[in-house]
Copies of this chain bind each other. A is one copy, B any other.
């Protein structure tokens, strides 16, 4: 339950961090070479089965994680079992970047699907990025973007209706997948059950099902157990008040001074 697959220990002949590199290159001018120093660091590639814990509340945070493949969730469980998923973590996302040695996690992270993670000691990570300005700026940018996603999540669960929440989340996930794949695709693979969307959006699983029916009958989407096809992106965006600038591809004019 707890541990990942520790068999894959790589240090020299590391595979490139494709997902992360792709994502970052769509936004900034960082080059793949910038990641070489990072890839040469001692680190582990770990594979977690669905539902496996990755970080448990109270764990000491001394590693930085990069999602290579699969989806992970960050969540809290309330005393009576209610669960709130704070956010989904997709390939190319990093987390626990802002660790402080000695700090403990205030939430859980678990594998939503089968997940492959790259795990680097915070100490090694910090010294590696401090040697490369483009690299450190890239991770800084990743942390800024993640904070923006958290804020959007607050607005979504705080002030949007169920229909808006679901529509908005579909479009956000679609954009985030696009950020690593390199292109917007009208098909969004959704490898998690509806109950996970429910726990992310503060709704019941029954109501997620009903809301998807609504989106279907209105012709916004078509969906199966494995994913969602966006049929009317314009209409869906308008219905759910999705800001077209949110998470938009746009190279940052990063001033490195």
Contact = CB atoms under 8 A, between A and B. Distances in A.
A106 interface: yes
Contact of A159 (B140, B147, B202, B255): B202
A151 interface: yes
What number of copies of this chain does the assembly contain? 2
A95 to B, nearest CB: 11
Question: Secondary structure of the A side of the interface?
Answer: mixed
A3 interface: no
B158 A157 contact: yes
Interface stretch (A43-51, A74-82, A183-191): A74-82
A147 B154 CA distance: 12
Nearest to A122: B255
A147 B97 CA distance: 12
A161 B255 CA distance: 44
A11 interface: no
Contacts of A160: 78
B154 A102 contact: no
7 nearest CB pairs, A to B: A158-B202, A101-B255, A102-B253, A84-B159, A84-B158, A157-B158, A84-B155
